[in-house]
Amino acid sequence: MTGDQLVNLAGIRKSNTSSKMPCHCVVSNPSWKPCTRTVPRCVFIDLGAADGNSFNHFLDNGYGEVGNCPSAQWSAVLVEANPHFNAPLKSVGQTWLHQVNVMSSTAAYMCESSTSFFLDSVNTEKNYWGSSMSSNHPDVQASGKQKVTVPTVNLNRILYENTISSDWVMVKMDIEGSEYDVLPCVAKAPTASLIDRLYLEQHDVSWGMSGTTAPEMEAAKATLRSKGVDIPPYFSWTL
SS3 per residue for the chain:
CCHHHHCCCCCCCCCCCHHHCCCCCCCCCCCCCCCCCCCCCEEEEEECCCCCHHHHHHHCCECECHHHCHHHCEEEEEEECCHHHHHHHHHHHHHCCCCEEEEECCEEECCCCEEEEECCCCCHHHCCCCCECCCCCHHHHHCCCCEEEEEEEEHHHHHHHHCCCCCEEEEEECCCCCHHHHHHHHHHCHHHHHCCEEEECCCCHHHCCCCCCHHHHHHHHHHHHHCCCECCCCCCCCC
Domain that holds residue 29: 3-226
Render pLDDT for 17-54 as a digit per residue (tens, 0 to 9). Answer: 444 899 999 999 999 999 999 999 999 999 999 999 99
| Predicted local distance difference test score (pLDDT) of residue 48 | 95
Calpha distance 76→71 (Å, rounded): 15
Average pLDDT, the chain: 87
Of 178, 161, 172, nearest to 196 by C-alpha is: 172
| Predicted local distance difference test score (pLDDT) of residue 15 | 35
Would you say residue 233 lies in a domain?
no
Residue count of the chain: 239
Would you say residue 236 lies in a domain?
no
Higher pLDDT pick, 31 / 237: 31
Residues ≥6 apart with Cβ < 8 Å to 65? none
Would you say residue 212 lies in a domain?
yes
Would you say residue 105 lies in a domain?
yes
Render pLDDT for 123-143 as a digit per residue (tens, 0 to 9). Answer: 555 555 567 776 677 666 665
Chain centre distance of CA 20: 19
Render pLDDT for 170-199 as a digit per residue (tens, 0 to 9). Answer: 999 999 889 999 999 999 999 999 999 999
Is the model's pLDDT at 99 over the cut of 80? yes
Residues ≥6 apart with Cβ < 8 Å to 94? none
| Predicted local distance difference test score (pLDDT) of residue 141 | 65
| Predicted local distance difference test score (pLDDT) of residue 124 | 55
Question: Burial code of 144-167, b = ≥16 C-beta within 10 A, e = fewer?
Answer: eeebeebbbbbbbbbbbbbbbeeb
Q: At 2, is the pLDDT very low, low, confident or very high (cuts 50, 70, 90)?
A: very low
| CATH classification of the domain holding 43 | 3.40.50
| Predicted local distance difference test score (pLDDT) of residue 17 | 45
Would you say residue 237 lies in a domain?
no
Q: At 59, is the pLDDT very low, low, confident or very high (cuts 50, 70, 90)?
A: very high
Would you say residue 231 lies in a domain?
no
44 close to 62: Cβ distance less than 8 angstroms: no
Would you say residue 232 lies in a domain?
no
Q: Report how many domains make up the chain.
A: 1
Is the model's pLDDT at 118 over the cut of 90? no
Phi, psi (degrees; rounded to nearest 5) at 219: -65, -40
Q: What is the mean pLDDT of residues 59-70?
A: 97
Phi, psi (degrees; rounded to nearest 5) at 54: -70, -35
pTM: 0.88
Q: At 216, is the pLDDT very low, low, confident or very high (cuts 50, 70, 90)?
A: very high
| Predicted local distance difference test score (pLDDT) of residue 116 | 87
| Predicted local distance difference test score (pLDDT) of residue 140 | 61
| Predicted local distance difference test score (pLDDT) of residue 11 | 39
Would you say residue 138 lies in a domain?
yes
